[in-house]
Amino acid sequence: MTHVSIKGLTKVYPGATEPSLDRLSLEIPTGELTALLGPSGCGKTTTMKMIAGLLEPTSGDVTFDGRSVLQDKPEDRGVVMVFQNYLLFPYMSVADNVGFGLKMRKIDPAEIKRRVGEMLELVKLPDLGDRKPIALSGGQQQRVALARALIVQPNVLLLDEPLSNLDAHLRFEMRDLIRSLQQEMGITTIFVTHDQEEAVVLADRVALILDGQMKQYDKPDVFYKRPVDEATARFFGGHNFINGMSDGQSFDSELGRLILPDNAASGIGKLTFRPENVRIGNAGDGTNSLKATIADVIYLGTQTRLKLRVGDTVLDAVVNPNEIETYGVGDTLPIHLPTSSLWVIQ
């Protein structure tokens, strides 16, 4: 049950000219599951290691419940990290691995045995206590790693790319397990990933880090509706960026005049909307209607991707394959952009 606060955290590696992490600030409420999302090298693993005490920041602070932990040694912080390759101690049994943290605290062996048994039940591996890690599958190893971390009831749990090594169907199982365990035990959890799908499916809130800077820290859906800038939008797969001028209520560009939602920014900027929000056909009241020519059709099985030409502009759209069945390259069709799906970036 720990409120984690990161203030102005910066890391410049010796010999480097640029900081790997530049003044990151973040408030993570107690018991929340937060994702640090970003491409490789963006500084997210560096951040994790600084929270864990495995790396010293160049400047900035990390506090747990208001108290700075920078002076605390790793083993005193109550931060447990689960690495991407699980790192189960290879020569110890599963039970010994899980009980390791308790053994280090010199807890009574009978008590350790009891708690280990409980924990293995929780992660649904009740009979594997005597096996060696090498005999387990990847998914099983991960559960043991989780059990090993949770049993010591850490202040903060750090997960490194928890879902990326798993096959698709295992992902959802693991996702449910992590979420349920985390919420049941109320442990503040931070995980690191480069996959925005993983972030969105697992986290309460996402912090996007690009080039050592934090861009946006919001609930997952906000990144799709209200990305803070073009780089952020692009990271989440946004494709349509139209230059123009906004007056707060409508946007003028090559596409003509489009009606904006309330509290849109005004001034020079880029209009952005996601491919999946482009609608075929006219809106009931004719708002934001455009005439488009199909430039390319890519069938993806569950969706169809379209490249639509409106005047000199090319737009990306993603639609249900059924909607576009009768159309082909070169055809013209009406489309409209719902007001709520538009956003202005500056």
Binding residues vs other proteins (CB under 8 A): 52-56, 73-75, 77, 79-81, 83, 85, 87, 89-91, 100-101, 103-105, 132, 134, 148-149, 152, 154
Measured CA distances, 306 to 105, 142, 280, 288, 327 (Å): 60, 40, 11, 19, 11
User: What DSSP character marks residue 302?
Assistant: S
Measured from the CB atom, the residue of 135 and 295 that comes closer to other proteins is: 135
Q: Minimum distance from CB of 89 to other proteins (Å)?
A: 6
Local structure of 263: helix, strand or coil = coil
Q: Minimum distance from CB of 75 to other proteins (Å)?
A: 5
Q: Minimum distance from CB of 113 to other proteins (Å)?
A: 17
Phi, psi at 78, each rounded to 5°: 70, 30
Q: Minimum distance from CB of 222 to other proteins (Å)?
A: 32
One-letter amino acid at 340 equals S
Q: Minimum distance from CB of 92 to other proteins (Å)?
A: 8
**146 with 187: CB under 8 angstroms?**
no
Q: Cα–Cα distance between 35 and 198 in angstroms, integer? A: 9
Sequence-distant contacts of 165-172: CB under 8 A, at least 24 apart: 165/84, 165/85, 165/138, 166/138, 166/139, 166/142, 170/139, 171/198, 171/201
Q: Are strands 156-160 and 79-82 parallel, antiparallel or unpaired?
A: parallel
Q: Cα–Cα distance between 64 and 127 in angstroms, integer? A: 36
Contacts of residue 321, defined as CB under 8 A and 6 or more positions apart, other chains included, come to 299, 301, 302, 303, 304
Q: Minimum distance from CB of 120 to other proteins (Å)?
A: 17
Q: Minimum distance from CB of 290 to other proteins (Å)?
A: 52
